[in-house]
Structure 1
Amino acid sequence: MLMALPSENGAITFAAKRAEFIPIEGLRIYFPSNHQTRLEKVEYWLKRLHRDPVDWIRPSEEAWILDIDGAKIQFSSELAKSYPYSSDASWPRWLHGSVVISPEFEAGKDFAPRLAFLLTELAVSKAKAPSPQLNNMAGMVINHFIAGDYHMSSDQYHVSGQVGAVGPNANAEGNTFIQQWAQSTSNVDFQSLASELALLRAELRKEAQEIEHDQALASVASAELAAKQNDGPTTLKHLKSAGKWALDTATKIGTTVAAKAIQNALGIP
């Protein structure tokens, strides 16, 4: 188990321990806080991770991209500090690569509710070698039982090469934007994009006449804010809402980075 330790500022620290009592092999990652609802916890950790990033975590409102190899390095480093453990953790061969996963809300009688991720062989293997059958599915739900007084809602995984998620709290559209960002626009310079979106927003404000124009203007403003926070999937989500008028205006005023991002969001080749 790897647990982030809540704090108000500074580098995020972790604690690690072996958890032989959990019947499912894999890596469990927790993000606790004093907040009582899932929404508040997600908001807290999004702010913390944007302010003090961890190199193997890319969070967003819908799902997080976790670099498993980076998590393993963090685990081994923290475990080495806990006598009598050593940093020589034994990992199953399938536990590597990256997954896109929605944080779950876990509760138990001996701890406060927390966000949790369970990286199982099934989730990781599907990320590495998705089958045509799974590609046509709207995602997958993995139910599991934890011995003792633990309860965790169904884990929802959206892994590379698949579309969407199903089950409680799932959001296929949000996961689509995460995959779209990773595949086509992950090399975008956020600073340049945010600057061009600010120019586009100013131009749209001058030209707005219809209600639809006001809605597009608000979407561009939201995309600009998301770009300033280095949140690619959310940026794409808002740029898609901005629509064709925003794309035409971005092209007209020469904001090529913004125009390309809107193009990608709209699925225009």
Structure 2
Amino acid sequence: MADKYVISGGQQGAVGDNAVAHDFTMNSNSAIDDVDLAALTQQLSLIRQEAMAEAMKTGAPGDAIAAGKIAEAEAAASAGDKEKAITSLKACGKWALELATKVGASLLENLLKKELGLP
């Protein structure tokens, strides 16, 4: 039997039959909340191109998968979906950070450092 509730991304105050939530505040601590999505999309385009070139050069399946996740993050940011954008980027881990640093995408570099808990 499938789960009755499928929760994906974001915060939920109450879930389930007859669930009630009141008198509380939910705060997001995601670094992406204050990011300019247009600028992020532009920088994601830069690292996507670099990631695709790198994946072609190495031929490594993991690099191709990560390049796809960067493209997914770019599409999500372009559509205004911050949560999906950061989830896709975090799936790439430090490789996305290295690419952002390499191409000079400072907004993306700082965002990834915060999201990955790096100095």
Q: TM-score range by the shorter chain?
A: 0.7 to 0.9
Structure 1, gaps ≥5 residues long: 1-37, 39-60, 65-99, 107-117, 129-159, 162-178
Distance 1:267 1:243 in 2: 11
Task: Between the two structures, name the one with larger relative contact order (CA 8 Å, sep ≥ 6).
Answer: 2
1:186 is paired with a residue of what secondary structure? helix
Alignment match, 1:142: none
* Alpha-carbon displacement from aligned partner over 1:191-242 (angstroms, at most 9, x marks no partner): 1101110110001111121222112101101111111121112111111111
Residue of structure 1 aligned with 2:43, choices 171, 176, 196 = 196
Q: CA deviation at 1:63?
A: 5.0
In 1, are the aligned partners of 2:37 and 2:80 still within 8 Å (CA)? yes
Alignment match, 2:8: 62
Query: Could you say if the C-alpha distance between residues 103 and 226 of structure 1 is closer, same or farther in structure 2, counting changes exceeding 3 Å?
Result: farther
Distance 2:68 2:85 in 1: 12
Question: Which structure has the larger Rg?
Answer: 1
Which portions of structure 1, spanning 4 or more consecutive aligned residues, are displaced by more than 6 angstroms? 102-106
1:124 is paired with a residue of what secondary structure? coil
Task: State yes or no: 1:254 paired with 2:109.
Answer: no
Q: CA deviation at 1:105?
A: 8.4
In 2, are the aligned partners of 1:250 and 1:259 still within 8 Å (CA)? yes
1:195-234 superposed matches below 5 A:
195-208=42-55, 209=58, 210-234=60-84
Judging by fraction of residues, say which structure has more strand. 1
1:142-161 superposed matches below 5 A:
160=26
TM-score with structure 2 setting the length: 0.76
Residue of structure 1 aligned with 2:22, choices 121, 124, 128 = 124
Identity %: 28
Alignment match, 2:117: 267
In 2, are the aligned partners of 1:223 and 1:235 still within 8 Å (CA)? yes
Structure 2, gaps ≥5 residues long: none
Distance 2:93 2:102 in 1: 15
Judging by fraction of residues, say which structure has more helix. 2
1:46-195 superposed matches below 5 A:
62-63=8-9, 100-101=11-12, 120=20, 123-125=21-23, 127-128=24-25, 160=26, 179-181=28-30, 184-195=31-42
In 2, are the aligned partners of 1:240 and 1:266 still within 8 Å (CA)? yes
TM-score with structure 1 setting the length: 0.36
